[in-house]
């Protein structure tokens, strides 16, 4: 029996069912998913750096323990996502290689520095908040392993956003200097967080096909608006100002209006000239190289235990 | 991505049954992780990971998949040990069950008023 698998594939998606690893799928669907999931995985792994930067200098033992838990979560999220990408027929080593050689990207947001402790608050509140907006719809993505990974990730992310909010709340209600530090962090992170949703809908190259395939459920602009609408009242609760004079409620639209986004900055950072692009990648590669002996040791130990005679009496066959 | 484009969706070197289709991160085999969330429930598949041996796979499974007390028991299984039904999950392998509605209680008529049946 000849089955039109391409029609069957689209029928599965249109019925809001899921595509599983060994199903027939168009090569471009597979490639799109690999690109997106890998970029997402890389973002989690690179995202450990700006936060890891403050672990040794967290202001209390409690904050240190929380920040370590959060950075561990980012590592875990990267692993869930690499596993999901691997179900599409790409190996972990290939993915790491593509990251390290700059052929696959990670989210540009992680190319901004975390200059003060308040940045850890702003990253949790704004960056993780924006990430959650992007990620919640991915829990219903048409590709099963990705959707399942996202369910786990979204569950864990909500603690990330809340702890960031709480850091800012405590600073904002503190001394004048602490309040100013919180405001400064929000001033620097607001626009990059807004840019995390990617180019506007008329500029976004991959969006339409991804919608048809059920990989994406909402457009970049829809998600950006949703994030802004959620965040403005939270900023009021924090007694902090968002650095956009054009930000105001529009009764007619039922949304907040906001000012123009500096897309020149966005593209500059995407194309490699953000404040920390080179540092992030260099640090990632160095960590991988410096960890090689651990991976080698684990491999050697596993081989030795599997075959205790090997390497001692020459040939283990002879010893047996 | 060697072989990723093959039209039947399978990848040369793939392990049937695994969610992952390409084995081996340089020397580290792939393991599937199953977790029992609490007593009384079965182990459920939660994901996969690469590890040098079973002991390390177990430790990594704990770190990656139970950071919030998601389980009371973990199984790690070498992906290569899993045998799965045919690659196409919609095929005729399961069809013979489809024409046997009499295996379900709803197949049978029960007169009105008859209870406990």
Q: How does pLDDT run across B38-57, given as a tens digit for each residue?
A: 999 999 999 999 999 999 99
Cβ atoms of residues A275 and A113 within 8 Å: yes
For residue B45, being part of any structural domain is answered with yes
Please give the share of chain A, as a percent, with pLDDT higher than 70: 96
What per-residue confidence (pLDDT) applies to B92?
77
Cβ atoms of residues A8 and A24 within 8 Å: yes
CATH number of the domain at B76, please. Answer: 3.10.20.520
Which of these ranges, A92-106, A232-246, B89-103, has the smallest mean pLDDT? Answer: B89-103
Number of domains within chain B: 1
What per-residue confidence (pLDDT) applies to B91?
67
ipTM field: 0.86
Q: Is A80 on the interface with B (CB under 8 A)?
A: yes
Which of these ranges, A39-43, A189-193, A313-317, B92-96, has the smallest mean pLDDT? Answer: A313-317
| Min Cα separation B78/chain A (Å) | 14
Maximum average pLDDT range among A64-78, A199-213, B20-34: A64-78
Instruction: Choose the closest CB to A76 out of B10, B22, B67.
Output: B67
What per-residue confidence (pLDDT) applies to B87?
66
Q: Which residues of chain B does A5 touch, with a Cβ-Cβ cutoff of 8 Å?
A: 7
Q: Residue B64 is part of which domain span?
A: 19-87
Nearest CA in chain A to B92: A1
Q: Is B82 on the interface with A (CB under 8 A)?
A: no
For residue B93, being part of any structural domain is answered with no
For residue B105, being part of any structural domain is answered with no
For residue B3, being part of any structural domain is answered with no
What per-residue confidence (pLDDT) applies to A318?
42
- Residue A148 CA to residue A146 CA, distance in Å, equals 5
**Closest residue by Cα to residue A33 from A45, A20, A46, A44:** A20
Which of these ranges, A34-48, A106-120, A262-276, B76-90, has the smallest mean pLDDT? Answer: B76-90
Query: Does B25 sit within 8 Å of A89, measured CB to CB?
Result: no
A183 Cβ neighbours under 8 A, 6+ residues apart: A172, A240, A241
- Assess whether pLDDT exceeds 90 at residue B18: no
| Min Cα separation A93/chain B (Å) | 6
- Assess whether pLDDT exceeds 50 at residue A315: no
- Residue A233 CA to residue A249 CA, distance in Å, equals 11
A126 Cβ neighbours under 8 A, 6+ residues apart: A164, A186, A189, A190, A193, A231
Mean predicted lDDT score pLDDT of chain A = 93
Q: Is A88 on the interface with B (CB under 8 A)?
A: yes
pTM, rounded to two decimals: 0.88
- Interface mutation vs chain B, best among A22, A35, A95, A158, most B CBs within 10 Å: A22
What per-residue confidence (pLDDT) applies to B98?
82
For residue B28, being part of any structural domain is answered with yes
Q: Is B25 on the interface with A (CB under 8 A)?
A: yes
Give mean pLDDT, residues A264-278.
95
Could you tell me the maximum CA-CA distance found in chain B, to the nearest angstrom?
68
For residue B103, being part of any structural domain is answered with no
Give mean pLDDT, residues A281-304.
94
For residue B92, being part of any structural domain is answered with no
What per-residue confidence (pLDDT) applies to A6?
87
Query: Does A302 sit within 8 Å of B14, measured CB to CB?
Result: no
| Min Cα separation A249/chain B (Å) | 39
Nearest CA in chain B to A6: B7
- Residue A94 CA to residue A141 CA, distance in Å, equals 24
Give mean pLDDT, residues A190-201.
96
Instruction: Choose the closest CB to B28 out of A83, A299, A301.
Output: A299
Instruction: Choose the closest CB to B19 out of A5, A8, A21.
Output: A21
Nearest CA in chain A to B6: A27
- Assess whether pLDDT exceeds 70 at residue A91: yes
For residue B104, being part of any structural domain is answered with no
What per-residue confidence (pLDDT) applies to B89?
61
Question: pLDDT digit string (tens) for A34-87?
Answer: 999 999 999 999 999 999 999 999 999 999 999 999 999 999 999 999 999 999
Query: How many Cβ atoms are within 10 Å of A292's Cβ, its own excluded?
Result: 9
End-to-end, the C-alpha distance of chain B in Å comes to 57
Quickly list DSSP for B22-80. Answer: S--BTTB-EEEEEEE-STTS-EEEEEEEE-SSHHHHHHHHHHHH-TTS--SEEEEEEGG
What per-residue confidence (pLDDT) applies to B14?
40
């Amino acid at each position: 029996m000849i089955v039109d698998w391409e029609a069957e594939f689209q029928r599965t998606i249109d019925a809001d069912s899921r595509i599983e690893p060994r199903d027939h799928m168009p090569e471009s669907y597979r490639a799109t998913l690999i690109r997106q999931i890998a970029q997402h995985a890389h973002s989690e792994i690179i995202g450990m750096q700006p936060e890891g930067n403050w672990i040794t200098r967290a202001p209390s033992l409690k904050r240190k323990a929380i920040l370590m838990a959060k950075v561990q979560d980012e590592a875990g999220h990267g692993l869930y996502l690499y596993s999901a990408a691997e179900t599409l027929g790409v190996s972990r080593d290939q993915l790491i290689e593509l990251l390290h050689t700059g052929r696959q990207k990670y989210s540009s947001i992680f190319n901004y520095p975390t200059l003060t402790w308040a940045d850890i608050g702003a990253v949790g509140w704004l960056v993780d908040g924006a990430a959650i907006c992007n990620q919640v719809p991915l829990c219903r993505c048409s590709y099963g392993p990705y959707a399942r990974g996202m369910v786990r990730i979204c569950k864990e992310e909500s603690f990330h956003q809340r702890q960031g909010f709480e850091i800012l709340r405590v600073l904002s209600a503190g001394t004048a200097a602490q309040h100013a530090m919180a405001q400064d962090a929000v001033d620097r992170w607001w626009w990059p967080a807004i840019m995390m949703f990617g180019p506007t809908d008329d500029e976004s190259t991959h969006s339409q096909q991804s919608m048809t395939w059920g990989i994406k459920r909402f457009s970049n602009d829809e998600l950006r608006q949703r994030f802004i609408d959620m965040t403005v009242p939270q900023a009021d609760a924090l007694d902090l100002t968002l650095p956009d004079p054009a930000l105001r409620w529009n009764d007619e639209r039922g949304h907040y209006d906001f000012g123009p986004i500096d897309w020149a900055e966005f593209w500059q950072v995407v194309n490699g000239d953000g404040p920390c692009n080179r540092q992030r990648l260099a640090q990632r590669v160095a960590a991988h190289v410096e960890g090689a002996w651990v991976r080698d040791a684990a491999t050697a130990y596993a081989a030795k235990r599997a075959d205790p005679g090997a390497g001692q009496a020459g040939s283990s066959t002879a010893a047996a | 991505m060697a072989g990723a484009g093959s039209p039947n969706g399978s990848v040369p070197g793939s392990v049937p049954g695994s969610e992952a289709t390409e084995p081996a991160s340089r020397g580290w085999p792939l393991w599937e992780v199953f977790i029992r969330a609490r007593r009384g429930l079965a182990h459920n598949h939660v994901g996969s990971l690469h590890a040098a041996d079973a002991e390390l796979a177990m430790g990594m499974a704990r770190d990656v998949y139970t950071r919030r007390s998601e389980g009371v028991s973990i199984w790690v299984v070498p992906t290569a040990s899993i045998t799965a039904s045919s690659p196409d999950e919609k095929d005729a392998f399961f069809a013979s069950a489809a024409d046997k509605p009499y295996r379900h209680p709803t197949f049978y008529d029960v007169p009105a008023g008859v209870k406990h049946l």
